[in-house]
A and B are shown apart, each in its own frame.
Chain A
Amino acid sequence: MLNGLWKLTWVEIKVFVREPMGVVGSLGIPVIMFVVLGRLFGPGVGSVSAAAAAAPPFNVAILAAIIIAIGAVLSLISIISIYREGGILKRLRATPLSPLTILGAHVVVKLLFTLLGMALLVLAGRRFFPGAMQVNLIKFAAALLLGTLSILSLGFVLASIVPTARFAQPLGAAVLYPMLAVSGLFFPLERLPPVVRIVAQAFPTTHAVSLMKGVWDGSGFAAHWGDVGALILIFAVCSAISAKVFRWE
């Protein structure tokens, strides 16, 4: 059924880019934010720009990357709930397409656009902060994709419980942005209350940020196998929950 997956993915890509606001929102805004905040603070820790003499409070490049990932997940939750409400999921399910293919196409689209967003980020970094982005791009992309995949699986759980399409974006944002706030990106996890610190370990954002920070610092995947394992575990658990609770109509 690979042919079906490829066809459906290609259709979903075309359908997505035909709505310009969706593309601008999920790719343009994070990149603009990256450039503006990068001018203020420097694009990443340890690469202080001329304008900002003080040590930057957080890694702007990682923030932009994770915002792209979260944007992709919010878009996924919204699309799935709209498709469910409109009977599109039900109609696709009545074809020979497997359920996994129908949903997998959206995962592929979201991962591709996340990758595209990262490419734009790198181009913007080269243009506006020459020499500041010394990160291994392949490892950074791998960390971002793994993180996105893990957050996407959580997105499917949210898409299962959201009652109507109208609530999809607000519910997704209300869950994911607080997760980002306690992910350790803005201030170290050690400064969080103990309970929050423990709970944050269950969030995919925490491990995605930690892994990307590691790649940025050059310590790489080997030093962060715990985060990699956690992201895979969260993916497995959320996928299993989705398989149980996902509603097609």
Chain B
Amino acid sequence: MPTSVISVDRLGKRYGSTIAVDDVSLEVYQGEIFGLIGPNGAGKTTTMECVQGLRKPDRGVISVLSLDPQRDSSELRQRIGVQHQEAHLQKRIKVWEAVDLWSSLYRKTVDPEALLTRLGLESKRNAWFMTLSGGQKQRLFIALALIHQPEVVFLDELTTGLDPQARRAIWGLITDIRAQGTTVFLTTHLMEEAERLCDRVAIIEHGRMLEMGTPADLVQKHCPERRVVFTSEGPGLAERLKEVPAIQSIASDGSTHTLRGEGDDFVTDVISAIASVGIRVRGFRTEIPTLEDVFLKLTGHGIRD
């Protein structure tokens, strides 16, 4: 049984008449990357900030590292690291000054210079915050979140607004953080990001949690269908593949054939069937459903709507 580091039980939070979070319960285990995913305004940030102790929940019980975020907030701040969505620092603060300031606030810290090097910021240590690129700013915020060797790191929409290259670099850093034993709790509205990074995800919309599990399990549960599309000139193809049990249907359009089936072994079964009957294949691709498809299925609309 994995150790639970964050537990949220029936969290509720409203702003005036707007319900931001409604009855959300979740567990985050030690050493995993947990993703809260959903569109903007779904309640991800509110949930995360209640967990951090920055907001007071209306209802529900939260425990982080066995601490109450409201009552034990000063102790909790020593043990968690945070990065906020669309955050800034003082325009004219230098990178090293920010890291130096932050490292003076905690009981124990890592070597700031080594951290800057690890995040690729050593050449920017004397640069003002306002002169940094989007990716560099986010790496600095990661540095500030990691300076005190926190046990849990919260990352809110970390890669929003970054170009693909910078985004990939950040992804690498996040998996490094986990490799060092730190639990990561992140939010994202990018399904690709969630799928790449997260061990487990919770899908949230309009403040309600729709699903929770590993990306693979959620795909398997909600969108089990896999497709193989290949092109072949061979005649009588449907007949020759009909006996393969894994294939549920075959649709042919000229020389393009689409095979449908379910399960992890479907693609392997198709490949071995094609090889054993000796069909000459010119083109071959697979269509595997992703978290994006799961989201579409659960909500009836795409995440960017």
- Chains A and B bind each other: yes
Across the interface, do A91 and B89 meet the contact criterion of CB distance under 8 Å?
A: yes
Per the bound structure, the CA–CA distance linking A7 and B90 in Å amounts to: 14
List A contacts of B89 (CB < 8 A). Answer: 86, 88, 91
Question: Chain A interface: which of B77-85, B216-224, B257-265?
Answer: B77-85
List B contacts of A87 (CB < 8 A). Answer: 84, 86-88
List B contacts of A8 (CB < 8 A). Answer: 101
List A contacts of B77 (CB < 8 A). Answer: 94-96
- Say whether, besides A15-B92, A96-B106, A91 and B101 are in contact (CB < 8 Å): no
Which of A4, A18, A83 lies in contact with B105, CB distance below 8 A? Answer: A4
Asked if A166 lies at the interface with its beta carbon under 8 angstroms from chain B, I say no
Per the bound structure, the CA–CA distance linking A117 and B79 in Å amounts to: 42
Q: State the Cβ distance, A16 to closest chain B Cβ, in Å.
A: 8
Per the bound structure, the CA–CA distance linking A20 and B84 in Å amounts to: 30
Give the nearest-CB partner of B94 in chain A: A14
Across the interface, do B52 and A11 meet the contact criterion of CB distance under 8 Å?
A: no
Per the bound structure, the CA–CA distance linking A23 and B75 in Å amounts to: 39
A10-30: contact bitstring with B at CB < 8 Å (1 yes, 0 no)?
Answer: 011011001100000000000
Across the interface, do A11 and B86 meet the contact criterion of CB distance under 8 Å?
A: no
Which of A12, A15, A18 has its CB near the most chain B CB atoms (within 10 A)? A15
List A contacts of B255 (CB < 8 A). Answer: none
Asked if B102 lies at the interface with its beta carbon under 8 angstroms from chain A, I say yes
Asked if A161 lies at the interface with its beta carbon under 8 angstroms from chain B, I say no
Query: How many pairs, one residue from A and one from B, have CB atoms within 8 Å of each other in the complex?
Result: 59
Across the interface, do A88 and B92 meet the contact criterion of CB distance under 8 Å?
A: no
Give the nearest-CB partner of A90 in chain B: B84
Which of B74, B87, B90 lies in contact with A15, CB distance below 8 A? Answer: B90
Across the interface, do A86 and B105 meet the contact criterion of CB distance under 8 Å?
A: no
Give the nearest-CB partner of B145 in chain A: A94
Asked if B97 lies at the interface with its beta carbon under 8 angstroms from chain A, I say yes
Give the nearest-CB partner of A18 in chain B: B92
Interface size class of A (residues with CB under 8 A): 20 to 34
Per the bound structure, the CA–CA distance linking A12 and B54 in Å amounts to: 24
Which of B52, B91, B93 lies in contact with A94, CB distance below 8 A? Answer: B52
B50-87: contact bitstring with A at CB < 8 Å (1 yes, 0 no)?
Answer: 00101000000000000000000010011000101011
Per the bound structure, the CA–CA distance linking A11 and B104 in Å amounts to: 12
Across the interface, do A90 and B104 meet the contact criterion of CB distance under 8 Å?
A: no
Asked if B266 lies at the interface with its beta carbon under 8 angstroms from chain A, I say no
Q: Which parts of A118-173 form the interface with B (CB within 8 Å)?
A: none
Per the bound structure, the CA–CA distance linking A83 and B90 in Å amounts to: 7
Give the nearest-CB partner of A91 in chain B: B87
- Say whether, besides A90-B54, A90-B84, A94-B52, A15 and B101 are in contact (CB < 8 Å): no
Q: Which parts of B86-138 form the interface with A (CB within 8 Å)?
A: 86-93, 97, 100-102, 104-106, 128
List A contacts of B86 (CB < 8 A). Answer: 87
Which of B87, B88, B104 lies in contact with A7, CB distance below 8 A? Answer: B104
Per the bound structure, the CA–CA distance linking A11 and B99 in Å amounts to: 11
List B contacts of A15 (CB < 8 A). Answer: 90-93
Q: State the Cβ distance, A174 to closest chain B Cβ, in Å.
A: 26
Q: State the Cβ distance, B149 to closest chain A Cβ, in Å.
A: 14
List A contacts of B92 (CB < 8 A). Answer: 14-15, 18-19
- Say whether, besides A11-B90, A18-B128, A94 and B104 are in contact (CB < 8 Å): no
Across the interface, do A3 and B104 meet the contact criterion of CB distance under 8 Å?
A: yes
List A contacts of B101 (CB < 8 A). Answer: 7-8, 11
Per the bound structure, the CA–CA distance linking A20 and B11 in Å amounts to: 48
List B contacts of A93 (CB < 8 A). Answer: 54
List A contacts of B93 (CB < 8 A). Answer: 11, 14-15
List B contacts of A95 (CB < 8 A). Answer: 77, 102, 105
List B contacts of A3 (CB < 8 A). Answer: 104
Q: Which parts of A72-129 form the interface with B (CB within 8 Å)?
A: 83, 86-88, 90-91, 93-97
Per the bound structure, the CA–CA distance linking A19 and B91 in Å amounts to: 10
List B contacts of A91 (CB < 8 A). Answer: 82, 84, 87-89, 144
Across the interface, do A96 and B105 meet the contact criterion of CB distance under 8 Å?
A: yes
List A contacts of B74 (CB < 8 A). Answer: 96
Which of A11, A14, A86, A96 lies in contact with B87, CB distance below 8 A? Answer: A86
Q: State the Cβ distance, B103 to closest chain A Cβ, in Å.
A: 10
Give the nearest-CB partner of B98 in chain A: A11
What are 12 A-B interface contacts by the 8 Å CB criterion?
A7-B104, A14-B93, A18-B92, A86-B88, A87-B86, A87-B87, A88-B88, A91-B87, A91-B144, A93-B54, A94-B84, A95-B105
Known A-B contacts: A11-B90, A11-B101, A91-B87. Give 8 more (CB < 8 A).
A7-B101, A14-B97, A86-B87, A87-B86, A91-B82, A93-B54, A94-B54, A96-B77
6 nearest A-B pairs in the assembled complex, by CB-CB distance: A86-B88, A18-B92, A87-B87, A15-B90, A94-B82, A96-B77
A interface residues with partner B (beta carbon < 8 Å): 3-4, 7-8, 11-12, 14-15, 18-19, 83, 86-88, 90-91, 93-97
